[in-house]
Amino acid sequence: METKTALLNAAERASRTHGYDGFSYADLAREVGIRKASIHHHFPGKADLALALINRYRGNFEQALVDISAKQNLGGAKLQAYLDAYRAGMSGGKTMCLAVAFSIGRESLPEAVVKELHTFHQSGIAWLSELFELGKQDNSITGVSNPEFEAAACLALVEGAQLQARAADDLARFDIAVSALQQRINL
């Protein structure tokens, strides 16, 4: 594996487990098996690493949404696949979404990373808005009034559910938190 990719993988695991402030270049060097100074060749500062992380994560997540849309025709089926993706991303309750982890430590993040985090959330809400509009039209999600409001609430729900589950080290907390939304899926 290329060193830069190995560094990004290690930094993402550390961020999703311990948060942005929960790891150092020394930690990454130890995990990847290189000298700390070598990391600076790929990422001169932690801000550069964080920006690369959120860009890669956003690209991968947006591709996952494209894949969900390609595989599922009904709004409710797309919603279930979205909830499943957020749940799977928790590694049994040991980690959380990179966007959630970065949001917790927002004050430590460089402005460019905060902007990318905002873009991540906005693109997610846009996709969810379309999903809820489709669910309303095809009757696969009950009780949809305003798709944009539903989208914002859904994002807040899944991110908050991840925080609850992570804090309790109990994936069941995520399942309980999203269960009311799942009960609205009519497939």
Tens-digit pLDDT profile for residues 90-104: 988 889 999 999 999
pLDDT at position 1 over 80: no
DSSP state of 56: H
How far is 176 from 162, CA to CA, in rounded Å? 11
The arithmetic mean of pLDDT across residues 38-54, rounded, is 95
Instruction: Determine contact, residues 28/91, Cβ cutoff 8 Å.
Output: no
Q: What is the pLDDT of residue 92?
A: 86
Q: In whole angstroms, what is the distance from residue 102 CA to residue 155 CA?
A: 15
Q: What is the pLDDT of residue 10?
A: 96
Query: Could you tell me the residue ranges of all domains in the chain?
Result: 51-182
* pLDDT tens string 104-152: 988 999 999 999 999 999 999 999 999 999 999 999 999 999 999 999 9
Q: Give me the architecture of the 51-182 domain, per CATH.
A: Orthogonal Bundle (1.10)
In this prediction, residues 5-33 reach a mean pLDDT of 94
Q: Do 58 and 145 touch, CB atoms closer than 8 A?
A: no
Residue 165's pLDDT is what? 94
Confidence (pLDDT) at 180 = 96
Tens-digit pLDDT profile for residues 26-36: 999 999 999 99
Q: How far is CA 12 from CA 32, 55, 86, 168, 187, in A?
A: 13, 12, 16, 21, 35
Nearest CA among 118, 123, 87 for reference residue 102:
118
Give residue 139's identity as a one-letter amino acid code. Answer: N
Residue with the two structure tokens 């609205």: 184
Span 71-82, pLDDT tens digits: 999 999 999 999
| Ordered DSSP codes for 140-160 | SBTT-S-HHHHHHHHHHHHHH
Are the beta carbons of 145 and 158 closer than 8 angstroms? no
Percentage of the chain with pLDDT > 70?
A: 99
1 Cβ partners below 8 Å, 6+ apart? Answer: 9
d(CA 19, CA 138): 39
In the beta sheet, which residues pair with residue 46? Answer: none
166-182 pLDDT, tens digit each = 999 899 999 999 999 99
> What pLDDT score does 27 carry?
94
pLDDT of residue 94: 87
Q: Which two tokens stand for residue 84?
A: 């499943």
Specify the 3-state DSSP secondary structure of 185: strand
Given this model, what pLDDT does residue 105 score? Answer: 87
Whole-model pTM: value is 0.93
